[in-house]
Structure formats: structure tokens, C-alpha cells
Amino acid sequence: MTFQSRGVRALVMLQMAEMRKLFVVWKKAKRLGVRLPATRDPDYRDLDLLMRHPLRACRKVLEQGWHKHTAWMPDKVLGSFVVHTSRWGAPMTVEAMLEHAAVHPMRHRLQLEELIAKVRKRG
């Protein structure tokens, strides 16, 4: 499927690349027995819930779904200043929502890489 917007295509490609990287790091964290810091957030109680969080955040809409749901989107939609409310209540433009989707798995990957480094340093 062809994207109408190179910007949308780039964000989708970045999101998918980051999800693949996160999955690799998550598997490494599981193998090493990494434990997440204590928190009241139910999405961070253990590694399985942590991985479920970005999957749920992207609604498990992986590559084919991204194509289906965003390929139609022209640059004017991506560049629009119309603000929508996210599921968690934050006001965001379409571009900001797509950028958040791309960066979300990156943030969790970096979190896990830091925890892996601590485990290796101790061990």
C-alpha cells in the first residue's frame, strides 16, 4: 500500500523499527531476570505487563494495520493544527500522536537497557 504522505510513512516506519528493537531488548531483559522498580502503575508491575503496554498503546495495530489506518492520510492531515484528545486525556495534533507512537517503544527500550546494564554491573 502506498502512503500519501512521506511524513506519515516515516513515522510508521520509525514506530515499527522501534517496536522490533524493544522486543529484542525485552527478550534479553526476560532472559536476565530483570526486575522493574516498584511503582503503583499497573503497567509496570512486571516485564510482561511492560511489553503489553506499548502493544496496547498501538492497539496491537502493527505494520499491516498502520498501513490500513494511515496510508490514506495526506500531508494536510499530518500538518493540521486541529487538536484531538488522546485516550489518556492529553490534547494532541495528529502529528504529535504519531510521533508519540513512534517514540513510546523507544522510551521503554531505553528504560530496559538501563535496567539490563545495572543487572550486568552487579553480576
Return the pLDDT at 51.
92
Convert the pLDDT of each residue in 23-79 to its tens digit: 999 999 999 999 999 999 888 899 999 998 888 766 676 677 777 878 888 899 889
In the beta sheet, which residues pair with residue 84?
A: 92
Q: Where are the domains of the chain?
A: 6-122
Per-residue CA distances from 24 to 30, 40, 86, 108, 118 (Å): 10, 26, 28, 12, 18
- Contact (CB, 8 A) for 119 and 32: yes
- The pLDDT value recorded for residue 65 is 76
* Residue type at 9 in one-letter notation: R
pLDDT in tens, 63-117: 777 778 788 888 998 899 999 998 889 999 999 988 998 899 999 999 999 999 9
Q: Please give the pLDDT value at position 5.
A: 92
Predicted TM-score (pTM) of the model is 0.84
d(CA 22, CA 25): 5
pLDDT for the residue numbered 87: 84
